[in-house]
A and B are shown apart, each in its own frame.
Chain A
Amino acid sequence: MIGEISHFLSLSAVLLLSLVLIFNLFFFFSKIHPNQLTLSMRLFNQACWLVFISFGMYVYLAISDDFSIAYIANHSNSQLPIFYKITSIWSAHEGSMFLWIVFLTAWSILFINSLNNNHPLKKFTLLMLSLIILGFLLFLLLTSNPFERILPFGAVEGADINPVLQDPALAIHPPMLYLGYVGFVISFSFITAYLLNGNFELQWEQDIKNWSLVAWIFLTIGIALGSWWAYYELGWGGYWFWDPVENVALMPWLAATAFMHSLFASSKSNVLKTWTMFLGILIFALSLFGAFIVRSGIIDSVHSFANDPERGLYLLSFSGLITLFALTIFAYRLPALNSSKLVVTGSKESFLSMNNILMITSIFSIFLGVTYPLIIESINGDKVSIGPPYYNTIFAPLILIAAIFIMISVDALWQRSMPLRRFFTAIAVPVTLSLISMYLIWWTTSVFSILAYIGIFSGLLILFRYLLRVINNLFNKKFINKGSAIAHTGLGLLFFAVSMNSILSYEKNLNLAPGQSILVDKSVQEFSFNNIRVIKASNHDVISAEVSLLQDGREISLNPQKRKYTTRGQITSESSIHATFLKDTYLTIGDQLENGSWTFSLKINYFIKWIWFSAALMVLGMLLTIFKKKVS
């Protein structure tokens, strides 16, 4: 019963949104009715509320174990804690699509109602948002219906969520990511509305600035959570594999980062406006592309959802149409948009232009890497694999260029070139310090890898530059933009930590019987496999190994496990991690051999905590930027 009502509410939302569009289309060509906007807004708001209530009811269905709903029966289970019953909703295609739409609707209703009724862009923005939400609702109800019933009696018990997904980080990762992805529907719709409207005297940046910054924060957290989860859950000690699905989340993030910087220039100095508009459209277009790639099954990835060409075609067509619509209007208006201002070489604007170019190049590189196997396969049938070797090689020079530009541009001035003396003093110290540090690193570690050292150098350049900035601020009272400084320090730290991790980390594969111990190396002086036990937990059996290490003079206990889940029979491996400031000791247990010994994989991962910390810094820096008091 509740399932039917919930379904009905979603259908009604479709109806109302269609009415909004038809109504406005009808009046498009005739005299504008005085209450047209008010009525449209009312219909839209009601449609949004219907979506929320529909989803709320769906959550109730999941909590109350309604296994007559096919999706809930396939992904939930009565033995799950309530938290996981709820998170099982977005553990697969139909439910996660529903969540995506709820967030899309939430962002839209908040934004559109924040605009004054006499805001010239309100109507077009409303129409864009209605069209997009309607398109996705139809996609959901027509091709990926979460309300489908198992007839006539429903399932007795749920099939259970994939045990790998019964994890808090993985539960929050999709909501954060989606909030970020769909948040950029606002910049997409508003900018398209601006272009449709045609009055280019209007200022538009301020209206969407904070909305976009908040969406960026969600996207950053979403990606970082995914990486963090992959690290501690998947058992191979890696945090980023340049997997197609990771890549399609990274592309919108790069576009969003470029957008924010460009927006800054655009609102401050009246330049880069067309760049900013293009980027504002591109972000959401890339989000749509990402949704298509993940949900159409077109690319082999561990993350792929549904393998259904019908869904793929719908998503492709719908995303393609609205993206083309926005870009065509952009291209059409381009002549009228171009300002006659020249960019002075060496000015802050020129560096922000360079930044846009670099970001677009990064996006292009990832796009090339993701589509190249498909292109080659369709031309001559050969299969090519593209992964970390490719992306690491391409990105190393790009981040070096980025680091150099960041280092120089911190001191750049608006609309005029930087005096040469200033330029040299600004870069001399960071470059010198970075080179010295690199030499010290090589001297202490004796490891060399050209790509990693490029990364280390890039990170150090940024870190030292901002260190200098902070010192200047403390002693010379020179102005420092705190939010920007923190965020960029986070970026420099990320480059540094990732590169150091790649040259210093190592792995040892061991084979021990219970009671045995072994000397591993200078650092891990003793590895003792003390005991192994079998434990029974609520929905799984556990093989639990107790290992103690004598590492760098300290005694550490590790407890890697293997779990077998009763419902699906799936076996997962739970790694045991001892994380310190400098490195993580990461232990995974393998299989038991015929002679009774067990295999272990011991990984020493350096600078891992620094990587998570750098993401936190970037988010913190952005928060400061959003909430800083307006000075002037």
Chain B
Amino acid sequence: MNQLLRFLIVLLPIVVLIFFGKILLVDEDIKFSNFNSKIFPEFQLNDLDGNPVQSGSLNGVKILNVWASWCITCLVEHPFLTRLSEQNIQIIGLNYKDSDLKANAWLKKHGNPYLFSIYDPRGDLAFDLGVTGAPESYLIVNNQVVGHIQGEMNQRKWETIFLPLIQKAKQGS
């Protein structure tokens, strides 16, 4: 009994040390977190031009990017999104708690990387998606939400979080 106790007194701190050491050495963003994929929530909204969004528009591999004209960080990620769209990555915008006038003006001024933007002034669809603020991005594959990036999108997050999921999806189909 005593022997066991003595052994434990030394072993337990070692276990704690190794555990925390391991956590520290893993990259923060990719960590171990899973994302529980779910079906894209139902919605009945228009796009920024006033046309209803079609139900089939979320088929295939799409990025859904939450943005707003009042969102400063969205400007930071905008060039990256533009580059993505030029590489034929399909991006759909979700205009979050914004006025359509200001949103359209913003797109005119800074450029429009989106196929179209869903107009969600009350944030209802955003709420059902679990959006915590702007900017935020989701990866949609055949109407399933399979990936999530909080905060601005950049090369690193794109490569470590979305790309692997996209490749997995392409292999699957």
Using a CB–CB cutoff of 8 Å, the interface residues on chain A facing chain B are 278, 285, 292, 296, 298, 307, 309, 312-313, 316-317, 320, 323-324, 327-328, 330-332, 334-335, 338, 371, 374-375, 377-383
Contacts and interface: CB of A to CB of B under 8 A. Distances in A.
23 contacts: A278-B9, A285-B13, A296-B24, A298-B23, A298-B24, A307-B28, A309-B24, A312-B24, A316-B24, A320-B16, A324-B14, A327-B13, A328-B10, A330-B9, A331-B9, A331-B10, A335-B2, A375-B19, A377-B31, A378-B19, A381-B32, A381-B34, A383-B33
Nearest to B25: A309
Nearest to B21: A316
Decide if the interface of chain A is mainly helix, strand, loop or mixed: helix
A382 B24 CA distance: 18
Given A320-B13, A381-B33, A313 B24 contact: yes
A380 B2 CA distance: 35
Contact of A334 (B5, B19, B20, B23): B5
A378 B23 contact: yes
B22 interface: yes
A382 B2 CA distance: 38
A309 B9 CA distance: 27
Nearest to B35: A381
Contacts of A330: 9
A334 B8 CA distance: 13
B101 interface: no
Contacts of B21: 313, 316-317
B6 interface: yes
A379 B32 CA distance: 8
Q: Which 4 A-B pairs have the closest CB atoms?
A: A381-B34, A331-B6, A320-B17, A331-B9
B32 A324 contact: no
B5 A323 contact: no
B35 to A, nearest CB: 9
Given A324-B17, A332-B6, A378-B32, 9 more contacts: A309-B24, A324-B13, A330-B9, A374-B19, A374-B23, A375-B19, A377-B33, A381-B34, A383-B33
Given A298-B23, A316-B20, A320-B17, A327 B9 contact: yes
A323 B13 CA distance: 8
B18 to A, nearest CB: 9
Name the residue in A278, A331, A377 with the highest tally of chain B Cβ atoms < 10 Å from its Cβ: A331
Contacts of B28: 307
Interface of B: 2, 5-7, 9-10, 13-14, 16-17, 19-25, 28, 31-34
B168 to A, nearest CB: 15
A334 B25 contact: no
Nearest to B14: A324
Contacts of B9: 278, 327, 330-331, 334
A380 B32 CA distance: 7
Nearest to B8: A331
B2 A338 contact: yes
Nearest to A367: B16
A316 B2 contact: no
Contacts of B16: 320
Contacts of B24: 296, 298, 309, 312-313, 316
B6 A334 contact: yes
A323 to B, nearest CB: 6
A324 B31 contact: no
Contacts of A374: 19, 23
Nearest to A332: B6
A555 to B, nearest CB: 41
A377 B20 CA distance: 12
B17 A316 contact: yes
A288 to B, nearest CB: 11
Nearest to A338: B2
Contacts of B6: 331-332, 334
Contacts of A380: 32, 34
Nearest to A274: B5
Contacts of B32: 377-381
A176 B59 CA distance: 59
Contacts of B33: 377, 381, 383
A315 to B, nearest CB: 10
Nearest to A335: B2
A309 B10 CA distance: 25
Contacts of B34: 380-382
B124 to A, nearest CB: 19
A255 to B, nearest CB: 14
A309 B23 CA distance: 10
A296 B23 CA distance: 11
A51 B44 CA distance: 67
A559 to B, nearest CB: 31
Nearest to B36: A382
A374 B24 CA distance: 11
Contacts of A381: 32-34
A320 B18 CA distance: 10
A371 B22 CA distance: 13
A298 B5 CA distance: 30
B85 to A, nearest CB: 30
Contacts of A292: 20
Nearest to A289: B16
Contacts of B10: 324, 327-328, 331
B20 to A, nearest CB: 6
B17 A378 contact: no
Nearest to B26: A378
Contacts of B2: 334-335, 338
Nearest to A379: B32
A337 to B, nearest CB: 11
Nearest to A308: B24
Nearest to A326: B13
A298 to B, nearest CB: 6
B138 to A, nearest CB: 17
A307 B29 CA distance: 13
Nearest to A382: B34
A379 B23 CA distance: 11
Name the residue in B20, B22, B32 with the highest tally of chain A Cβ atoms < 10 Å from its Cβ: B20
Name the residue in A278, A332, A338, A378 with the highest tally of chain B Cβ atoms < 10 Å from its Cβ: A378
A228 B118 CA distance: 46
Contacts of B31: 377
B75 to A, nearest CB: 17
